[in-house]
Amino acid sequence: MLIAQLSDLHVMAPGRLFRGGIDTAARLKLAIDDLLAQRRQPDAILLTGDLVDRGSAEEYAALKTLLAPLAAPLLPIPGNHDARDTMRAAFAECALFADDQFLHFAADLGPVRIIGLDSLEPGRVEGRLCAERLAWLDARLAEAPERPTMIALHHPPCPTGIPHMETINLLEPEGFAAIVRRHPQIRRIVAGHVHRPIESRFAGVPCGIAPATAPQLMLDLRAESQSNNRAEPPGYVFHLYRDGDFIAHTVACGDFGQPV
Ligand SMILES: [Fe+2]
């Protein structure tokens, strides 16, 4: 079982540029072309939020066109730049989301279960999981205790060491942590939001943050660091499930020449 994770795509309406200067659609196309050239293709494509930049139907239409060459099933969750209603409509054919107000899902793929969470709080940059969403998660975990499980959400619940990002991560994660500790089948938690590849831990479980296909956050670990993006290469993660656990490979995309 191989799951590709693309995060923070920030696709914009045709002709518009991210923060006035960078073509996020071109960067996503570069990542998708790289993925399609992989000799082993993924069994599913996990999209961990900020799929588009403003949440408009026009942006989701542009996103769907860019994603069309991917053959594997799409597993999208929202980030703070997404809008629930337009995103639900854009991915209606996936028949994926639970029948409630949130864009969360539980998908069984071969031996594993992927649970996608909706940490979006409309109008806010930071994320939260309310009591209703936590109860839904607890029920999905309780119904498949033997299935090795990956949980995906946009906002990282784990420390990142980047102070200005930690103020806008998943806030008040204690309830989520208590659920994670109760369900030992959770093998890995994956997130986005930071626009950098980071490995950390949450409630005893490995927690990985994927790079963006949009511009990356410049690495600055000082207490006074500020949010600056730059056009480091777009990236994605391949999560390989083998022998009861997930192995994460982060890929940088670009033209790096022939193998030597
Ligand atoms: Fe983002």
Residue showing tokens 């693309």: 6
Compute the average pLDDT of residues 231-244.
Answer: 97
Asked if residue 58 is part of any domain, the answer here is yes
Residue 144 CA, ligand 1 centroid: distance in Å: 31
Q: State the CATH number of the domain containing residue 198.
A: 3.60.21.10
pLDDT, tens digit, 9 for 90 and up, residues 176-187: 999 999 999 999
Residue 243 CA, ligand 1 centroid: distance in Å: 32
Domain count, the chain: 1
Asked if residue 161 is part of any domain, the answer here is yes
pLDDT, tens digit, 9 for 90 and up, residues 111-143: 999 999 999 999 999 999 999 999 999 999 999
Residue 195 CA, ligand 1 centroid: distance in Å: 6
Residue 201 CA, ligand 1 centroid: distance in Å: 20
Sheet of 44-48: strand order equals: 74-77, 44-48, 2-6, 235-242, 245-252
Asked if residue 222 is part of any domain, the answer here is yes
Say if CB 79 and CB 154 are below 8 A apart: yes
Give CA separation, 114 vs 7, 148, 151, in Å.
16, 9, 6
Asked if residue 224 is part of any domain, the answer here is yes
Compute the average pLDDT of residues 224-230.
Answer: 90
Which domain, by its residues, includes 232? 2-252
Is the pLDDT confidence value at 240 over 90? Answer: yes
With residue 114 as reference, give the H or E element that holds it: strand 112-116
Asked if residue 190 is part of any domain, the answer here is yes
Q: Grade residue 199 by pLDDT with cuts at 50, 70 and 90.
A: very high
Residue 143 CA, ligand 1 centroid: distance in Å: 32
- Give me the chain's average pLDDT, please: 96
Asked if residue 258 is part of any domain, the answer here is no
pLDDT, tens digit, 9 for 90 and up, residues 9-37: 999 999 999 987 999 999 999 999 999 99
